Each structure stands twice: as C-alpha cells, then as structure tokens.
C-alpha cells in the first residue's frame, strides 16, 4: 500500500460511551478539541455525537481572520506551524481534497475531516462588507484526526483515527482508547443550575432595543428590507469552568445541534436547535430554517394552546416564508437546476423551553461542486440576517454597531468523504478572557410589536444561560 495514501483506521465497541466522560477524560487535556453533541435526538436528526481532537502526526488547527490574506496553521498542540494562502474557504477545500477518503463501511458522515465554526463577520469574504471586528477569530477549524463517534440509536461507539505514515501509532490509540472506555465509570453529574436574571446586563437596554425595533420598522416601511434580524447581547464576567457549565447547559436545554468547542483561549457552549446546511456524500443538501418562537408552558393544555397559536400566527408564518424564499434563492445559485424544493413547510418543533416554527429546504449539488462552495454561497444563514440579505446586513451593521462574533455564524463539520453538517449558532455562550457573551434576537417584520420582540429576545437569551451558577460569575 502506498505510504502517501490517507487511511482511516477504526474500532467498534459494543456500548454507547458516556459523552461527558469522553470529553473530560479524552478531549479536555488537549488545547483544541470538539464535541458535536446530539443531546436531544429526534427522528432523522441527532443519531450520532462526535468528540475528538487533532491528535497524531497530522493533527492541525486552521485559524483565520477576514482580510488577513492567509490562514494560520497550528499543530495539534496549538503551536504555530505555518500559513496557507487565501481565505478559510480555500484552505478547507484544499485540505479536504488532499485528505479525501471514502470509508463507506462507517455508518456516519464525519469520516475524518474538520470541525469548527464560521463567525458572522466572515460575511466579509462572502460579498458583504466587514464593518466590525470580532474579538474571536472569524473561523477556527480543528482536524478530526482522533475521534469518538457515539451511536445513540444502536448503543455502540466507534473510534476513528486518520493516518498516513503513522498507522502504528493510530492503531495504538484505538487500542488504548478502547481499553480506557471499557474500564472507566462515567463521572458523577452534579446538576446544580440557577435561574439568574441577566436583563440588566444587556449591551442594548430595553428602551434602546425598542427604539432599534422602531428603526427596523421604518426601514421596512421605506421598502429597504422585508425582514430584519435584530439582535442584542449580554456580556458578563465569568470565572467558572466552561466545560462544566456546558455539561449543565446540555442537561437543562438539550438540542439536536448542540456543541462544545475548546479552542485555545475561546470556548463555545452551543445548544442550537437549528440546522444551517447538511450535505450528504451523494450531493443532496438540506437546510432547516427556524423563524417563530413561543415559550413552553408547564400545563400541558396551555402548552398545546401556545403551540397551536404559533402554528397559526400570520406574523411568524410570514417570517418563515421569507427565509424559505431566501434559502431557495441561495441554494439555486449552486444546486442543480430544478432540484431545489421544500418538503416540509411551517412545522412546529418543541424543545425544552420553546416551540419553534421550522421548514425544510432541499436540493442537489452538481458534479464538481462541494459542501464548502455551497456554504460560501449561503453564508451567513438567512434566518440570522433577513431579506433581501445584502441590504439587510448593511442595516444590521448600522443598528447594532458591534460584531456578533461566533453568534449568528455556523458550526459543525466538513467530512473527508464530501459530507458536511452545520448548525446556525444560536442559543450559544462564548467564553474568552474571563468574559461570557451570549447573543439573542428575532426577526422584525411589518407587523412586529416592539415590546413583544423584546420579550422574545429575552426568552431566547435565557436558554444558553441555564447552565450557569452564581459561582461561575466573575
């Protein structure tokens, strides 16, 4: 066998490993690691959770800022290892092509590849001006060279190692990791969480947010936009353990597209319910935009009333329809002609704290087009901008007057076999330098009520903060 060929070596263990144990024991010791966490499984979503780090001879991290002209390459330990010319999209396409593998026998799509995020300000490389500079990198992608895949449906675990000329070391990792999982008990799970009120810490006060909604309505009435996704942010001192806070968050607010990313001095605690893009190995692609949110009720009868009201609301239906049309247009720029369709329209999905109105858009990529190219064409997700996208993003930059950073971007993976799965980064906290930032917002349309929009923003803000305790606050 040629020494230069990329190989996937794997092992299967006959039980579902505890993901919290895997994160604490196998991933946390590394400066860069990932946990794509299906903490809420649903039919058609959330079968697998993936945890890993850039181990072995070919582990690396790609880190990028818009306008830099090059992607910084770090080794698996987080040390500088050179640069790649161009932007992060070009770097990912190059690496994915160089390391391509098939591994059809594996039952999941992340067969080696890269896991990470695109921040909202990466729109500067997608045809929109880059007005604000984020305190976090605009993109970070971790090579999934050592990975644990947990199958929640069949109750088994796969260990995967990417190698080239280091096959012996890869096989040793598989063996020692199998032994470790078989011999270790899951950790204790302290479940302390408190209901904390952070409304006084909003970057934009209630009065100013109401005024911003009114400004959006003026732009809508002037015909400058049809829908504007306005957001706010909480920033608070944070002295806790981000991974421990995420473990509490996932138990109190489970979500099908959740994640914890440990990225050097940045940690991302994500409980997103929204898929941005999924691309299969055969080129079929899908997006599941969410527009329309209502709070869950403790009483089942009252909860059912809220659910039906959401489904019937003209405002929320209008929000959703506009984003579906936007996505159909974005897909149409890349997908095969005639392949774009909407198999599910305005369906209500229920989560721990909210009901959401969700639609599904699908298409098929032509030969020679890949998941990275589709992502560039669709980024940022229309559910976090509004429509029409270019002009609406200009309005957002003027009104918000700050970067969104990781929030409103996309997080997930690009696999070496051509598949990809990315979420929309909502219901997410980002920890960096002793600070925790959480964004939240909503779509403003012509019949929006400013007070109701403010209350909806607070409802969304609450979900990713449910894992915090007073001991976490610096």
List active site positions. 274, 291
CA angle at 163 for the pair 157 and 169, rounded to the nearest 5°: 80
Q: Tell me if residue 94 falls in helix, strand or coil.
A: helix
Burial class (CB in 10 A: 0-12, 13-18, 19+), 462: buried
Q: Where are the beta strands (DSSP E) in 425-467?
A: 428-432, 435-444
Are 438 and 234 in contact by the 8 Å Cβ rule? The answer is: yes
β partners of residue 85: 70
Are 335 and 285 in contact by the 8 Å Cβ rule? The answer is: yes
Nearest to 131 by CA among 385, 395, 378, 376: 395
State the residue for tokens 């901008």: 385
Alpha carbon 455 to its chain's center: 24
Q: Tell me if residue 32 falls in helix, strand or coil.
A: strand
CA 284/CA 266 separation, integer angstroms: 33
CA 383/CA 307 separation, integer angstroms: 20
Q: Which residues contact 119 (CB under 8 A, 6 or more apart)?
A: 134, 136, 137, 138, 139, 404, 405, 406, 409
Nearest to 146 by CA among 262, 57, 243: 57
Q: For the chain, give the number of residues.
A: 474
């Amino acid at each position: 066998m040629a020494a230069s060929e990329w190989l996937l070596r794997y092992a299967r263990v006959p039980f579902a490993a505890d993901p919290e144990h895997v994160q604490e024991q196998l991933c946390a010791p590394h400066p860069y690691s990932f946990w794509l966490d299906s903490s809420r499984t649903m039919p058609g979503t959330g079968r697998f959770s993936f945890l890993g780090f850039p181990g072995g001879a070919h582990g690396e991290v790609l880190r990028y800022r818009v306008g830099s002209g090059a992607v910084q390459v770090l080794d698996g330990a987080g040390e500088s290892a050179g640069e790649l010319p161009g932007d992060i999209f070009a770097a990912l396409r190059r690496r994915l092509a160089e390391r391509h593998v098939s591994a059809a026998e594996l039952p999941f799509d992340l067969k080696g590849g890269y896991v990470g995020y695109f921040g909202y300000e990466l729109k500067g490389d997608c045809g929109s001006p880059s007005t604000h500079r984020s305190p976090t990198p605009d993109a970070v992608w971790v090579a999934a060279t050592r990975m644990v895949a947990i199958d929640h449906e069949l109750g088994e675990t796969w260990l995967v190692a990417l190698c080239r000329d280091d096959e012996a070391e890869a096989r040793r990792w598989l063996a020692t990791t199998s032994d470790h999982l078989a011999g270790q008990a899951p950790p204790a799970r302290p479940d302390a969480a408190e209901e904390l009120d952070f409304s006084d810490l909003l970057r934009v006060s209630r009065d100013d947010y109401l005024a911003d909604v009114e400004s959006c309505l003026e732009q809508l009435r002037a015909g400058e936009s049809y829908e504007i996704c306005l957001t706010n942010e909480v920033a608070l001192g944070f002295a806790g353990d981000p991974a421990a806070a995420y473990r509490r968050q996932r138990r109190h607010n489970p979500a099908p597209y959740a994640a914890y990313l440990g990225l050097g001095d940045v940690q991302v605690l994500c409980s997103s319910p929204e898929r941005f893009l999924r691309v299969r190995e055969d080129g079929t692609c899908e997006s599941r935009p969410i527009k329309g949110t209502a709070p869950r009720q403790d009483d089942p009868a009252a909860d059912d009333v809220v659910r039906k009201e959401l489904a019937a609301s003209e405002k929320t239906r209008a929000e959703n329809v506009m984003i579906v049309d936007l996505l159909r247009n974005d897909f149409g720029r890349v997908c095969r002609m005639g392949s774009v369709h909407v198999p599910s329209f305005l369906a209500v999905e229920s989560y721990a704290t909210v009901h959401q109105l969700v639609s599904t858009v699908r298409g098929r990529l032509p030969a020679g087009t890949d998941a990275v190219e589709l992502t560039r064409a669709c980024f940022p997700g229309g559910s976090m901008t509004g429509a029409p996208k270019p002009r609406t993003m200009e309005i957002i930059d003027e009104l918000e007057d700050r970067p969104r950073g990781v929030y409103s971007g996309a997080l997930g993976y690009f696999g070496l076999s051509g598949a990809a799965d990315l979420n929309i980064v909502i219901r997410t906290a980002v920890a960096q330098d002793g600070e925790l930032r959480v964004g939240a917002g909503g779509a403003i349309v012509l019949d929006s009520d400013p007070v109701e929009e403010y209350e909806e923003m607070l409802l969304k803000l609450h979900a990713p903060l449910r894992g915090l305790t007073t001991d976490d606050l610096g």
